[in-house]
Amino acid sequence: MAVLVDKNTRVLVQGITGREGEFHTRQMLEYGTQIVAGVTPGKGGQEVLGVPVFDTVKQAVQATGADASVIFVPAPFAADAVLEAADAGVRVVVCITEGIPVQDTVKAVALVRQKGVRLIGPNCPGIITAGQCKIGILPGNIFTPGPVGLVSRSGTLTYEIVDLLTKAGLGQSTCIGIGGDPVLGSTFVDLLPLFEEDPDTQAVVLVGEIGGSDEEIAAEYIRTMHKPVIGFISGRTAPPGKRMGHAGAIISGRTGTPQAKVDALRSAGVPVADALYEIPDLVKQALASRT
């Protein structure tokens, strides 16, 4: 089993004929992901890398049975692409696009949740179930199958931590980059229950950053989990008032400070690494405690 996607997931690429869409379609195909369709309005009937292109998501789903979508559509049109995928019956939508207006995202998130569709992103690297399915822009070569799940607000930190885990002999089950925007399709507390229920996941690494309150909310849920969670909060050394890279990395009063997040996680029994290199040892200790 896995979280959200596996070797049987049938993926369509919205924006497949664009430069980024085609490049990452090639990477996903090489990883072994079942890319069954692409969608670009006005270019139906073409092929990209042997993948048939359709004018609409509905046509693509009807013809191929696609049940997941990844979006490489320019920001002004990306929210509509999310809604089109949800309306067509796609169950998992991964939106890579960054720079989507917040008002557009708020509307899209509300509507996809009403439909029971799982949205990952926007402004995220995607999701990978190691050795089975890669949807997005994650570098597949650093992932290896194993018992460690990972959910992260930072794409680059995901890559660094996974590389450290792999080199330490700690494979991964499913890794999800949720994105760094202020409004997200799926938050930590939305996804942690899926890892808790996944028999292939024995421990979870949660990677947060300054800004927002998602980590504090997640800490309350973690108190109810049976599987161990290891935490890392980036931005702890950022000077006060420093503008960070993610739109969601905004501190409001006492909410969103790195220390508040660390304190919340530790109060829930989560060991929080001070540096990335500490994470593999903390994971090993957590796994050993379950045996």
Tens-digit pLDDT profile for residues 130-147: 999 999 999 999 999 999
**Catalytic residue selected from 118, 134, 246, 261:** 246
252-289 residue pLDDT tens: 555 568 889 999 999 999 999 999 999 999 999 999 98
- Please tell me the distance from the alpha carbon of residue 211 to that of residue 261, in angstroms, as a whole number: 9
In Å, what is the CA distance from 218 to each residue of 17, 117, 151, 191, 281?
A: 38, 21, 11, 10, 22
For residue 70, the cross-strand partners are: 13, 94
Q: How many residues does the chain have?
A: 291
Mean pLDDT of 74-98: 98
In Å, what is the CA distance from 249 to each residue of 60, 237, 253?
A: 37, 14, 13
Residue 97: pLDDT band with limits 50, 70, 90 = very high
Cβ–Cβ contacts within 10 Å for residue 164, how many? 17
- Please tell me the distance from the alpha carbon of residue 82 to that of residue 291, in angstroms, as a whole number: 42
Give residue 255's pLDDT: 54
- Please tell me the distance from the alpha carbon of residue 102 to that of residue 158, in angstroms, as a whole number: 24
Residue 1: pLDDT band with limits 50, 70, 90 = low
CA dihedral 65, 29, 121, 232 (to 10 degrees): 130
145-196 residue pLDDT tens: 999 999 999 999 999 999 999 999 999 999 999 998 999 999 999 999 999 9
Q: Are 237 and 192 in contact (CB under 8 A)?
A: no
Complete domains list, the chain, with CATH: 10-120 (3.40.50.720), 139-290 (3.40.50.261)
Amino acid letter for position 187: T
The reply to whether 246 belongs to the active site is yes
Residue 241 has pLDDT above 90, yes or no: no
* Residue where the block lists tokens 């998501």: 57
CA angle 47, 50, 53 (to 5 degrees): 30
Give residue 242's pLDDT: 55
Residue 290: pLDDT band with limits 50, 70, 90 = confident
Give residue 277's pLDDT: 97
- pTM higher than the cut 0.85: yes
Mean pLDDT over each residue of the chain, to the nearest integer: 93
10-54 residue pLDDT tens: 999 999 999 999 999 999 999 999 999 999 999 999 999 999 999
Share of the chain above pLDDT 90, in %: 87
Q: Are 182 and 210 in contact (CB under 8 A)?
A: no
The helix or strand, by DSSP H or E, that contains position 136, with its residue range, turns out to be: strand 133-136
Q: What does the block give as tokens for 60?
A: 């693509």
**Of 99, 140, 97, residue with least CA distance to 119:** 97
